[in-house]
Structure 1
Amino acid sequence: MKRKVDNSYGIIPFYIPSEKIVEKSKGCYLYDSEGKQYTDFESGVWCANLGHSNDRIVKAMEAGIRQSIHHGYKFRNHPSEFLSQELVRITGLEKGSSVFLSSGSEAVNLAISMARNITRREKILKIHNSYLSAYGYGQITPGNNHIENVHFNDMQSLDETNFGEIAALVLETGGASIDMVRFPDYAFIQELVELSVANGCLVVADEVTTGMGRMGKWFGFQYYDFLPDIVVTGKALGNGYPVSAVTVSAKISESFGKNPFRHLQSHQNDPMGGVIGLEVIRTIGDENLLNRCLDTGHYFKERLLFLNAKFKQEIREVRGRGLMIALELDNSVNGELVSDLLFERGFVIGYKANTLRFLPPLVIEITEIDKLITNIGEILELLRQ
């Protein structure tokens, strides 16, 4: 069901939405201008981990608006400093520090710039199927000569890499974008990180998508028992509000005195982002959402595996960790049609490469998962006929 590019609405068509207009978003639901309800299994663009218009976040925003939204470079503010302390705590980067920006792409590029400045090297290393950023050093284009790749779970590709040229290993441990939810093996990551550290490369954990509880831990790197030099967060840090962070170890913080580095951005360390990020972290802790994510994700994956057993010819694989889950369809199935039919039935999901992607809010109810599973089964049954 292809949609035509239409810029008659005054919006540059860098992506093609449906014809539906969203009027309201609340919890796990979106409502269009006709009053139809959609269950959001994508958390917006993987941002609204606490659900849309979360009451606690809205209340914190209202208080923040009355106090100070933006102040420029002459002042400090408590919210951003307190948020930095909390990020240092949950990342494990003791005595570290943070800077706050507006988007994940900005934060990834800043982390890379820091690493290049400190190491005096230029190249960036990543796993080939990971996504870094929409622009800059991390942009995946033929003209970006700064990026080196190792192949996913391929030990031999590590032997073929000159780590002595690498400024930073930028590690995404469960990307939802390029290869639709795949998790690297423990032994592969251990070897990759050990080689990087031994050769003086800085290790950057890109947690823009995988962080803030998405996989049942605060961060994806925590599944692999190593401590990065830099952690990048975004998306769910603001639960829909545009704030991102670069959090660095004490060693990196100290190095700025030896390697002067300057970076200014209009909304850097704005108090509003600090207020929201703090409330996001408090809410995840107060409501025990890490454990809830693990439990709900286990249930979701089990239900998809049950579906897989029923539709062995139609379903190729189920992948998931916490509430980052994918259902890969066989090439004999028109996956785009399945995605479109689900949208017509009131479910917002991700789709790419014949794979259905599910990253719902961490507060998703079991009943909504059951409804989705039922509808996927009904659609696959219809396509069999």
Structure 2
Amino acid sequence: MIIPFYTPFEKYLEKSEDCYLYDTEGKKYIDFESGVWCANLGHNHPKINHVIKNQLKKSIHQGYLFRNRQAENLSEKIAQKTELKNGKSVFLSSGSEAVNLAITLAKQITGRDKILTTDISYLSAYGDGQNSQKNNNLIVIPFNNSYAIQNIDFSQIAALVIETGGASLGIIKFPDFQFIQKLEKQAKQNGVIVIANEVTTGMGRTGKWFGFQHYNVLPDMVTTGKALGNGYPVSAVSVSKEIAKEFDDAPFCYAQSHQNDPLGCAVALEVFRIMEEENHVEKGALTGVFFKKELEKVAKNHSGTIKEIRARGMMLALESQKEINSEKIHSQLFDNGFVTGNKFNTLRFMPPLTLPQKDVNQLIKSIKETLQLLK
């Protein structure tokens, strides 16, 4: 039996393919969650599977005494896409690992303990980034509240962790441009290391390669995961040339078993190659615009039920009015063959970037029918 940390529906998954999931009874579902927001290129991608099979024949895992071409090539690719020129990366397994390591590095460099973020952020399932009353070093300020910035003692803060799309809390909200600009400026003026947490918002999810690129800021570190491996567990901490030099001058030891594994790095390299060659960031952005417009049409005709539509790229939310039970809508959509997210009266849509517009139309039709049942 499985420890019930979350509650699934009473269906067993049999197969995943592109944007579609199939249960053991043969029923087809359109996946508007990309797994756990990982499969930006769709599930079971044949080109990625081919790379996995080839790499399996060579090397899956390595120790600490050899260099790794896959890791080095991937580091160069991430430096290019994040604009961290001549930066360096290390590769791990999960987003939580990456965020916690980035925070640890910031503490090591600055000699400070506090971490600053906003109340729409979810940094980590554990450790220094965990949202917990026991995490006394985490300072959380209200989302988009510029006045709160004035009351921060930046001299105690090691890192500002920016998350530019609050998905993990289920609400999907996007910070204002001026808020992020002001926060980043104050942080850098006070010697605080700026970390862009791109575990969820990276790899084309928001219509750009990385979410921070909507804000004209350049972080000192970038953490990636989830879609970096398109479902395969690989994550990264990428740092600027200046941060990397700090560890040349004062070496820091960090070692875990699955660090820079060639299989995960080979997968991530293929993900980048496919996304570049097939223009999935641009295609996903266009589908996102279409999707948002269709949701706004529904909201206009159901203002008594729908409070707000929020969207950026392929990261969309439909928030219901407070008196509406969105769990009923969520459950009905699942019964109708649509996998969506739901939390705090907000339906969440984060489908693969490969999603055809016809599948958006099917979902919109099902939402309309479901809303009619609520009347």
Which residue in 2 is equivalent to 1:5? Answer: none
Hey, what's the Cα distance between the residues in 2 that align with 1:210 and 1:320?
12
- Residue aligning to 1:275: 266
SS of the aligned residue for 2:308 comes to strand
Whether 2:227 is the aligned partner of 1:236: answer: yes
Q: Percent identity?
A: 53
Once the two structures are superposed, the pairs formed by residues 315-334 of structure 1 within 5 Å of their partners are: 315-334=306-325
Which of 62, 74, 97 is the equivalent residue of 1:71? 62
Residue 125, structure 1, aligned to residue 137, structure 2? no
| Matching residue within 6, 11, 18 for 2:2 | 11
Of 316, 339, 350, the match for 2:330 = 339
Maintained 8 Å contact 2:170/2:346: no
Matches within 5 A, 1:208-219: 208-219=199-210
User: Following TM superposition, by how much is the alpha carbon of 1:258 offset from its aligned partner in structure 2, in angstroms?
Assistant: 2.7
Cα distance in 2 for partners of 1:235, 1:129 equals: 19
The total of aligned residue pairs comes to 375
Residues 225-271 of structure 1: CA distance to partner in whole angstroms, max 9, x if unpaired? 01100000000000000000000001111100233311111000000
| TM-score, reference length from structure 1 | 0.96
**Is 1:159 matched with 2:150?**
yes
- Residue deviations 1:172-222 (CA, integer Å, cap 9, x gap): 000211151100000010000000000000000000000000011110000
Q: For residues 282 and 259 of structure 1, what CA distance do their matches in structure 2 show? A: 35
Residue 117 (structure 1) shift: 0.1
Match of 1:286 in 2: 277
Structure 1 position 37, deviation (Å): 0.4
Equivalent in the alignment of 1:4: none
- Partner amino acid for 1:277? A
Q: CA deviation at 1:151?
A: 1.2
**What secondary structure does 2:296 align onto?**
helix
1:40 equivalent in structure 2: 31
Map 1:239-254 → 2, pairs under 5 A: 239-254=230-245
Give the AA of the match of 1:346. Answer: G
Counterpart residue identity of residue 218, structure 1:
W
Q: Which residue of 2 aligns with 1:195?
A: 186
CA distance in 2, matches of 1:269, 1:179: 31
Q: Which amino acid aligns with 1:109?
A: N
Residue-by-residue CA offset, 1:293-312 (whole Å, 9 max, x unaligned): 11100000000000011101
How far has the Cα of 1:77 moved from its partner? Answer: 1.3
Secondary structure of the residue aligned to 1:169 is strand
Q: Where does structure 1 lack aligned partners over 5 or more consecutive residues? A: 1-9
- Find runs of 4+ consecutive structure 1 residues off by over 2 angstroms: 257-260
1:3-152 paired onto structure 2 within 5 Å: 10-152=1-143
Name the aligned partner's letter for residue 243 of structure 2.
I
C-alpha RMSD of the superposition: 0.7
Give the distance between the partners of 1:268 and 1:30, measured in 2 at CA. Answer: 31
SS at match of 1:67: coil
State the alpha-carbon separation in 1 of the partners of residues 304 and 8 from structure 2. Answer: 31
The answer to whether structure 1 residue 176 and structure 2 residue 167 are counterparts is yes
Match of 1:3 in 2: none
Q: 1 CA distance for matches of 2:298 and 2:4?
A: 36
AA of the residue aligned to 1:129: I
